[in-house]
Structure 1
């Protein structure tokens, strides 16, 4: 349970105190989250090697697909909306959650390999 809270809060997997990200990013201002190179508390290096976060793209993809399928089911099945309206809503949700998925997927990836 502590690991799940650490992933959601974006805390260091080693000490659970330092922040992984400098900024949270803002999709409306077209800003992606910025990561610290090392933990400010325990000095853990987050990127183990070049290309370490390549695998986090797959985690981000899985999160995005889950969000899109859930919104598809909610808006098409339960709300009984037209397919074009559902498509627009799903696309909007995917764009809106992109920075969140970026942060969470990298945090999950760091926690998996620490």
Structure 2
């Protein structure tokens, strides 16, 4: 359970104190999150090799698909909204959660290979 909380917080997998990201990013200001190269507390290097975060794209894709399916079930099957409105809602949710998914997928990827 502690690992899940640390992943959601974005803390270092080595010392569990330092932050992986410098900034959280803001999709409305078109700013992506910025990562630290190393943990400020324990000097742990986050990017093991060039292209290390390529696999995090697959994690991000899985998270986005899960959010979209949950939204589809909620808005179309439970609330019985029109398909066009459901599509627009899902597109808006995907846009708004993109920076969160970016941070979460990279953090999960770092924790998988620590």
Establish whether TM, by shorter chain, passes 0.5.
yes
2:2 matched to which residue of 1? 2
For residues 4 and 93 of structure 2, the distance between their equivalents in structure 1, rounded to whole angstroms, comes to: 23
| Cα root mean square deviation, aligned | 0.4
1:99 matched to which residue of 2? 99
Q: CA offset at residue 84 of structure 1?
A: 0.3
Residue aligned with 1:75, SS? helix
2:33 matched to which residue of 1? 33
Gaps of 5+ in 2: none
Q: Does 1:58 align with 2:50?
A: no
Gaps of 5+ in 1: none
For residues 111 and 3 of structure 2, the distance between their equivalents in structure 1, rounded to whole angstroms, comes to: 8
Q: TM-score, normalised by structure 1?
A: 0.99
How many aligned residue pairs are there?
114
For residues 2 and 55 of structure 1, the distance between their equivalents in structure 2, rounded to whole angstroms, comes to: 24
Q: CA offset at residue 2 of structure 1?
A: 1.3
1:12 matched to which residue of 2? 12
Q: TM-score, normalised by structure 2?
A: 0.99
Residue aligned with 2:13, SS? coil
Residue aligned with 1:85, SS? helix
Residue aligned with 1:93, SS? helix
